[in-house]
Structure formats: C-alpha cells, structure tokens
Amino acid sequence: MNKTELARKILTLEGLSNEEKTALLELIRGHKKYGLVWEEKPEDIEERLREDLPVLVERNDEKVHPIISDNPDAPNHLIIEGDNLAALTELSYTHAGKIDVIYIDPPYNTGNKDFKYNDKYVDSDDEFRHSKWLCFMSKRLKIAKSLLSYNGLIFISIDDNEQAALRMLCDEIFGSNNFLNCVSIKAKASSGASGGGEDKKLKKNIEYLLIYSNNLNEADIVFPVSSTPLMEYIEDKKEKGISWSYTNVMTKPGTKHYVTTIKAGNGDDINIYEVLDFEIQSVSTLAKKFNKTEEEIYTEYIDSIFTTENAQTSIRTRVADAVSGDGLFLAEYKPVSGRNKGKLIEVGFIGATKRLVSYLKNTCHITPNGVFKLEKIGTLWSDLSWSSVSKEGAVPFPAGKKPISLIRRIIEMCPSNDCIVLDFFAGSGSTAHAVMSLNASDGGKRTAIVATSNENKICETITYPRLYNVIHGYGKVVGLADNNLRYYRTEFLPRERSVKNMRELVQASTGLLCIKNDLYTEAPFGGRKMNPKYARYFENSGKRMLVIYEEQAIPFIADIIKTMPDGEKIKIYVFSHGSYAYDDEFAEVEDRVELCALPQAIYDAYQKVLPKRKPKFLVDDLVTEIEETEAAEAQATLDFGDNEAEEGGDE
C-alpha cells in the first residue's frame, strides 16, 4: 500500500478529529525508509524565526565597541551575538555561497551539562537526548551548507558520543561522496595508569574531526604537512631500515629538443621534448669527489636532487606511447587539477619505461636555517600541543578551548589566503584568533565571522575581550594590530508584511548590508552630507553602496549620480513595496548603478532557509492533492485512449 492509498483510508476513518487525522498524515509524510531517523523536537528559536525576522545591530558602548586598525586594508572580522540559528539565518542573506571554510566545535552531548535544548540542559538519561541533538545540528548544518562556496570545506570537532550519528547526518546533508576524512586528534595527555574509572571504560584521549567539501571533486585542498630537518629525516629512515631514494643529482641539465605534440585526455596539447647531453651522479659520489659531507651535498644541490617513480598517471602512459628510447624526456602541459591547475609545467620521464622524475625540492621547505623535509600528515594528528591552551588569548573558558595551532592547520587546508572563515559555535573565539595569527604569519587577508550566544555574558566578557587582547597584545604577546573587529547583536522584527514593518526592516537592515558588501565607512554622497532619515552612503577602496530609506529621495539622488565621477558601480538598496527597484527612475544612470529592492531581497533569503510555518491542518490540502492526483491519472488514461484511437484511424 502506498502513501496515497493509506492517506485515503485515514480520511475515511470515523471518530477522529481533523487535528488527529493531521497528526497521522504528518507521520506518513515524514516517514523515511532509509537513512538516519530521529524524533523531531520543536526548538523555540526556530519557531520564533518563523514569526520574526532577525537583523544585526552594531554595538558601540562602554563595554563593546568597534576596533579599527590604522591600516586601511585591514580585514574586517565579525562577532555576532545571538543564537547561532538566528546568526546563520542572517548570514543566509549576507554570505550565501561565500564562506570558504567553516570550523565548528559543537556541544558533544555527553549528558554532563554541555548541551542545552530550549534553555534546558539535556541529561544523559533523557530518552530524547540524541534526537534533540540531531534536530539541533541538522537545522544548523543545512543552512551552513548553503553558505559554503562552491568548493568550500567544513570541519566539525566531535567525540565518540555523537561521532557516528554526526557522520550519517553529514552524509545526508553534504553527500557521502563529499566526505574527505575523519581525523583522530590526540586531545590531551593521558595521566595515571588506570582505565577509565568507575564507568569501566578506557581513558579517552582522542577526539575526532569530520571533514566534508561542498564539491569534493572540484575542491582544491592543501593537505597539512610535518616539517623535519632533512638530514634528521634521512637518518631516521636509515635507522628504521626504510630505503631513501632521493640520491640522484642532475649535475648537468643538458639541452631540450622538441620531439612531438600529443593530446591530453581533455584535448589540450602536451609538448614533448628530449633532453640531450645531460649528466647524473649520486650524492655519495659527489661527496667523495669534493670531500664533503652528504649534508653539504644535499644543501648545495637541493634543486637538482631527484628520484624516479613508477607513477601511474595518464600523462606518463601517453608519453610512453608517443616516444621510444631510454633517455630523458620532458612533457610540457597544463594540469586540470591539483596545486598547479591551469599552470604550464614541465614533468620529466626517464628510461625505457618512462619513470617519473620527482625532485626533492618539491617536498622540502628551504630556509636560511637549513632544508626541512615536508611529509603529508595522515588522519592521526598527535603532534599538536595542548599544554598552553588555557593561556591563549588571556581569558578563562571553563568549557575548554581548542589550540589555535589546530585551527590554523584546518584553515591552511584552504589554498586561498583571503578566504572567509566561519565558526558558529565560537565559544572563546579561538577561530578568529587563529585567523589573525595566520594572517600575521603569511600576510594573508582572511576574514573571520564568529557567532555565539551571550549566555552568562560569554560573548561580551570572553569572546570580545579575547579578540581585543589578540589585537592589542597581552602579557608578553605582541598585538596583531592589522585587524578590524566589529561586534553585532541580533535583534528581531515582526515578519508580517505591513508597510510599517517593511520600513522598519529596511531601516534596521543597514548592518546586514554593510556586512554583505564588507563596506563600513560612511562618506558624503557626491560631496553632500546625507540626511540619514532618507539615505546613507558608504565608500571605501573604490567600493560604493547607497541605502535609500525613503523613495521620495530617488529623483534627487539620481541627479547627484549624474555629476559624480566614474568608478565602480554604486550598489543601491532602495525601499520598495515589492521587487521593483525603481529601474525607470535610474534609467539615465543605469550603467553606473546596480539596484536591489528591499526588504524583498531579505524576505526571499530568509524564506529559503526558514519559511513561515504553514497551518498544520493538512486534511483539506490532502483531499485536494488526492483529487488532483486522480484527475491527472484519469487524464493520462484518456490521453492514452485518444492516442490508440488515432493510431487505429491511421490503419
């Protein structure tokens, strides 16, 4: 029996009210045959968001105020105070498809007062403990996915209480094909010789990190590496009886001569050259020849030392098919993936079987202090120190901090040094701290957005002070002054679309618009000071944004735009009762502006992630649905019969 037939039977039952029939119909509609299933538990904040709209208002008072760098190019980091479901909803308007890295450290649901649902701690004996946690996480992760850039990455810290359930949930939301790894992290040093204590379990010292990509096949990922002095690395290999193959030195590079051009799998050209008059010697031979240590040879010839590999690549196969001989050949082409994607590179192949030439320098970090061998770190991260974590940022955090070295490693897996990083379980602010630290190390312009509730005033007494300390310095730690920090608080406005409510929403949306456009500097408009009752104008580094609150100001604004110098298009947000953005009124300057009607754009964004709840009485809707299904089936039968008649007539 299918769902429609079962629904028909429910509709014919006597002695049940519409509410009771509705409850049964909802069970039918919501039943899943496969996958992770849990009991839905309503969440207060979700119900509020279906009735009220969240907006962001910047705080600037004695306790909390913006921190602005003297550097005009400093990145703008954001703290959002409020429930993270509201924060994610707000970001669905400002940052849909823009977040490159998400790192979260959600409550582990240990049953030991670490997880609240509807303002109540969920105890270990709560029969709906896991359902509540899955409801809580599912809503937030679904919105988080919509925020990720096309090939963005999400990292989630978790322990064994919910690791298995979280993996299944993420498989459903992000797709099991986008699962990258589950990393085991040695979190704390074990102490004592006993087991786990009274609960008869082994002592815990491992946490997990689930990693997913929004589109794994297209993701460009920089895998973390360890760094060891080269000679120390080589000696360790020898002591363990592991062969070390980087022993060949290209002492004479020779000259290359064009041979032929073949096609790659995607149709691109691969130019093949043969290298003539080259010379290869071993590291040991050169050390004896010049009376030097092998360490000196490795340092002096680091650019020329190589090994050969039996690499299984399509390029190698194509080269082997195209040329013969046991010499050295170079293939010149543009890779379609990997770190050299789209760049013209040369790859060497040597010998009759065309073994890949792999240079040591590509696996090393060369510094004035020596050569360091880089090795990809696998899925066990046991090298991170937790000894000074409590001191980081100079703020207490009883719930425990994650070391910024861990979060830096996570962020570094994104190749862009101007990426946007989000943490919507911000806690003490470790993620923003890590972003600032990483920028200081490599000159990047990454921006951090961190969101947390202000329960027990954590946001204003821990998160904000920590990041204040990071920027200004604390103890002997030098401040990272090239950073801006802004603090926003979530407020709510009625969702009902009255003209009064719509105007209030547009007036209150300026913070959202500044965040959306990363533009916070208010300026005169065409040399004129704007009346903030009618409009506000923002400009910085060539970017321009105008917010029009009263439509009667439009003719005057359009005339001013005619007199302004050319530049980047002005992004204009204008109050409108619908989706019309006054295109006709700006027709004479249409090539200089980009128009957007408010609050419709905000309504649309919020509707996608948290639509207003429909009435729960489904009986009438289902009757209509069944009638439409039956009518469609009847029409299909009729159409089929007509076709038969037509075919018979042709005969």
pLDDT tens profile 539-579: 998 999 999 999 999 999 999 999 999 899 999 999 999 99
Buried b (16+ CB within 10 A) or exposed e, 465-475: bbbbbbbeebe
Q: What's the confidence (pLDDT) of residue 28?
A: 63
pLDDT digit string, tens, across residues 39-80: 677 789 999 998 999 999 999 999 999 999 999 999 999 999
Question: What are the angstrom distances between the C-alpha of 508 and each of 270, 489, 598?
Answer: 57, 12, 11
Sign of the torsion angle spanned by Cα atoms 115, 116, 122, 127: negative
Q: What's the confidence (pLDDT) of residue 598?
A: 96
Q: Which residues pair with 580 in a beta bridge?
A: none
Question: What are the angstrom distances between the C-alpha of 112 and each of 33, 106, 187, 202, 424?
Answer: 33, 14, 19, 18, 22
β-pair type (535-540, 380-381): unpaired
CB 274 within 8 A of CB 328: yes
Return the structure tokens found at 428: 């003490």
Return the structure tokens found at 3: 């769902």
Mean pLDDT, residues 356-382 taken together: 93
Instruction: Please determine, for residue 232, whether its predicted confidence score (pLDDT) is greater than 50.
Output: yes
Q: What's the confidence (pLDDT) of residue 635?
A: 59
All residues at 6 or more sequence positions from 288 whose CB lies less than 8 Å from its CB, including other chains: none
All residues at 6 or more sequence positions from 467 whose CB lies less than 8 Å from its CB, including other chains: 67, 77, 79, 393, 429, 432, 433, 436, 485
Question: What are the angstrom distances between the C-alpha of 429 and each of 38, 205, 286?
Answer: 32, 23, 53
Q: What's the confidence (pLDDT) of residue 120?
A: 72
- What is the rounded distance in angstroms from the CA atom of residue 4 to the CA atom of residue 629? 9
Q: What's the confidence (pLDDT) of residue 456?
A: 84
Question: What are the angstrom distances between the C-alpha of 404 and each of 208, 428, 470, 623?
Answer: 16, 11, 12, 57
Instruction: Please determine, for residue 458, whether its predicted confidence score (pLDDT) is greater than 60.
Output: yes
User: When comparing pLDDT for 105 and 191, which is higher?
Assistant: 105
Mean pLDDT, residues 172-184 taken together: 96
Q: What's the confidence (pLDDT) of residue 629?
A: 60
User: When comparing pLDDT for 62 and 645, which is higher?
Assistant: 62
Mean pLDDT, residues 483-511 taken together: 96
User: When comparing pLDDT for 479 and 619, which is higher?
Assistant: 479
pLDDT digit string, tens, across residues 378-397: 999 999 988 889 899 999 88
Question: What are the angstrom distances between the C-alpha of 542 and each of 289, 519, 539?
Answer: 61, 10, 7
Domain boundaries, the chain: 61-191+203-224+381-491, 248-359, 495-609
What band does 369 get if pLDDT is binned at 50, 70 and 90?
confident
Return the structure tokens found at 623: 């009757």
All residues at 6 or more sequence positions from 618 whose CB lies less than 8 Å from its CB, including other chains: 22, 25, 26, 29
Q: What's the confidence (pLDDT) of residue 642?
A: 45
* Order of strands across the sheet that contains 370-376: 225-229, 370-376, 364-367
Residue 581: CB atoms within 10 Å:
22
All residues at 6 or more sequence positions from 307 whose CB lies less than 8 Å from its CB, including other chains: 245, 246, 247, 248, 358, 360
Mean pLDDT, residues 347-360 taken together: 96
Question: Please, what is the average pLDDT of the chain?
Answer: 89
Buried b (16+ CB within 10 A) or exposed e, 316-339: bebbeebbeeeebbbbbbebeeee
User: When comparing pLDDT for 50 and 400, which is higher?
Assistant: 50
CB 43 within 8 A of CB 175: no
DSSP character string of 519-547: ---B--BTTB---TTTEEEEEETTEEEEE
pLDDT digit string, tens, across residues 282-325: 999 999 999 999 999 999 999 999 999 998 888 999 999 999 99
Specify the range with the lowest mean pLDDT, choosing from 131-135, 338-342, 642-646: 642-646
Return the structure tokens found at 221: 């990922």
Buried b (16+ CB within 10 A) or exposed e, 134-159: bbbbbbbbebbbbbbbebbbbbbbbe
User: When comparing pLDDT for 444 and 390, which is higher?
Assistant: 444
Q: What's the confidence (pLDDT) of residue 1?
A: 56
Instruction: Please determine, for residue 644, whether its predicted confidence score (pLDDT) is greater than 90.
Output: no
Q: What's the confidence (pLDDT) of residue 32?
A: 55
Looking at 3.30.465.10, 3.40.50.150, 3.40.50.800, 2.30.29.30, the CATH number of the domain 61-191+203-224+381-491 comes to 3.40.50.150
- What is the rounded distance in angstroms from the CA atom of residue 152 to the CA atom of residue 410? 12
Q: What's the confidence (pLDDT) of residue 645?
A: 38
Mean pLDDT, residues 226-248 taken together: 94
Instruction: Please determine, for residue 29, whether its predicted confidence score (pLDDT) is greater than 80.
Output: no
What band does 646 get if pLDDT is binned at 50, 70 and 90?
very low
DSSP character string of 358-387: EEGGGGEEEETTEEEEEEE--SEE-----T
Phi/psi at 453 (nearest 5 deg)? Answer: -70, 170
Mean pLDDT, residues 147-151 taken together: 96
Sign of the torsion angle spanned by Cα atoms 286, 292, 293, 296: negative
Q: What's the confidence (pLDDT) of residue 79?
A: 98
Instruction: Please determine, for residue 346, whether its predicted confidence score (pLDDT) is greater than 90.
Output: yes
Mean pLDDT, residues 333-352 taken together: 89
User: Is the bond preceding 611 in cis, omega lying within 30 degrees of 0?
Assistant: no
